[in-house]
Amino acid sequence: MVNCVRDAKHLCKWQGITEKRENFYGVSNIDFGKGASGGPFISQYDTETKLGYAYAVYSSFLDRSKVSVGDIWNETIFNELLTRVIS
């Protein structure tokens, strides 16, 4: 997250490991900061095409375990949202 402007208009990137846990995806030892809630977790993002795979949405940082949390999407709800966008 070096040189990240954190302005809610630009994607910030980092390279590391996201662990899938029982109820969420976790990124250890990175606090994405206030205002990042709702931002996507995207893998394999291509800066030229601006395409990638969104797989979670950032929700919070757990101080005690030093983990940033991305909520795992409910597949049914996600597919319903996609259907609304496409229609």
pTM (predicted TM-score): 0.74
Q: Given this model, what pLDDT does residue 87 score?
A: 72
Per-residue pLDDT of 16-68, as tens digits, reads 889 999 889 999 999 888 778 888 889 998 989 989 998 898 999 999 999 99
Residue 6 scores a pLDDT above 80: no
SS (H, E, C) the chain: CCCCCCCCCCCCCCCCCCEECCCEEEEECCCCCCCCCCCEEEEEEECCCCEEEEEEEEEEEECCCCEEEEEECCHHHHHHHHHHHHC
